[in-house]
Amino acid sequence: MKKTSACFAIVLLIGSSTVNADDATEKKILLLYPQADSNGDGVLSDAEESALSRLALKRYPKADRDGDGVLSDAEKQALLRVATNRAGRKPGTRGPAPANSATATTKAPSFSNVKYGEHERHVFDIWLADTTRFPKPTPLAIYIHGGGFKAGSKENLKLNEISQLLKAGISVAAINYRYVTTAPLPAAHHDARQALQFIRSKAEEWKIDKDRVAAFGGSAGAQICMWLAFTDDMADPESRNPIERESTRLTCVATHGGQTTNDIDFWRNKIGPLLGGGNKLESLSRPLGKESDPEKIRIATWGAETLEEANEIAKRCSALSIISADDPPIFMGYAMSPTAKLPGDPKKVRGWLIHHVILGIALKEKADAINVEAHLQYPGAEPKYKSQVEFFVDKLLAK
């Protein structure tokens, strides 16, 4: 592979697929049923769409009007119209609440849009566990959204996850960070660090146990979570700012569809062959602003002057490069098995590629070799924990 192609490949790893603007059906599905996006990458993979169709057929058998056992596009549209109408009804009427409603399955945040920095995206929401049920300081799980570092928000956090964590006695926060189109990487990583330290500084006021803090997120958010988990403590004990004196270490971390490395050689040797001979990497490139040249995109993405400098910065933000023996446990989830075939829909190839389970396999192999606890979930696997919530409950609440 030539240098430009290799550079292009690594650009893909720092991004996350977003829903195709012309795919109205998929956009409606994601709006009404965000839980269908099991890996949090913002698109429906073939496996995710098939799973949702099976569930829809089971719950609404009449939607299969021709009785062939498969939902056609027309049948999906009809079912979506019914779901949309029900979701739009006023409280007190029958039918599900809107999927993006803050009160659909849980209470509104205890504090909304709390500022942790000067930029408009330096905000977070936090849900504090019920102090009447949990009088002692509670653990905290911080959600970091995906979106290719160009999109997404704290509102992407699934409401059922908030509910499950709060019910278990784990407080929850969801943060925003600056997009790469505003500030080059690793600005987003540094924002997350600042948010983590700010929340820790409020531990006494919010009755949070600062020694039991986790992070979770998908895709770009997963990258940031792993960077926080596997980077040595970034607290500055000499700082005049008390927030900067707070620890950045985590108790555990959970990810979905995470890019565990930004290494060009790994991409070329492990990920590239999955595309097959009929697909060109260049067709998957995404511009950054007005820039479309892969090498220049990589340099700009990482705020570098040269490609070599960009590679070095990217390496320092790659979990596979920085994980060490003293790092916390990780739970990783991916939507495809190691033997999964390339999606038939060309629009889904990029999302499938940059969230491939082989990235998780590589990190688990490295973690196993240095005795860091790592759990890997994918279709057909049988990990110790069935979900990241179960993982958090065990790691954050174990006596």
Is residue 67 included in any domain, yes or no? Answer: yes
Is residue 76 included in any domain, yes or no? Answer: yes
Sign of the alpha-carbon dihedral angle for 175, 179, 182, 185: positive
Chain segment 68-82, per-residue pLDDT in tens: 566 666 667 777 666
Return the amino acid letter for 234: M
- Tell which residue, 1, 51, 10, has the closest CA to residue 302: 10
Q: Is 345 exposed, middle or buried (0-12, 13-18, 19+ CB in 10 A)?
A: middle
What does the H/E/C string look like for 214-249?
Answer: EEEEECHHHHHHHHHHHCCCCCCCCCCCHHHHCCCC
Give the orientation angle of helix 187-201 with respect to helix 220-230, to 10 degrees: 60
Q: Phi and psi of 375, rounded to 5°?
A: -125, 135
Confidence of residue 89 (pLDDT cuts 50, 70, 90): very low
Give the domain extent around 15.
3-87
Chain segment 249-294, per-residue pLDDT in tens: 999 999 999 999 999 889 878 888 888 766 555 556 689 999 988 8
Confidence of residue 346 (pLDDT cuts 50, 70, 90): confident
Question: Structural domain tally of the chain?
Answer: 1
Confidence of residue 2 (pLDDT cuts 50, 70, 90): very low
Is residue 49 included in any domain, yes or no? Answer: yes
Is residue 290 included in any domain, yes or no? Answer: no
Is residue 60 included in any domain, yes or no? Answer: yes
Is residue 246 included in any domain, yes or no? Answer: no
What contacts 206, CB < 8 A, 6 or more positions away? 110, 126, 128, 171, 199
Is residue 58 included in any domain, yes or no? Answer: yes
Chain segment 219-257, per-residue pLDDT in tens: 999 999 999 999 999 999 999 999 999 999 999 999 999
What's the average model confidence in pLDDT over 82-96? 47
Is residue 233 included in any domain, yes or no? Answer: no
* Range in 34-43, 147-156, 321-330 with the lowest mean pLDDT: 34-43
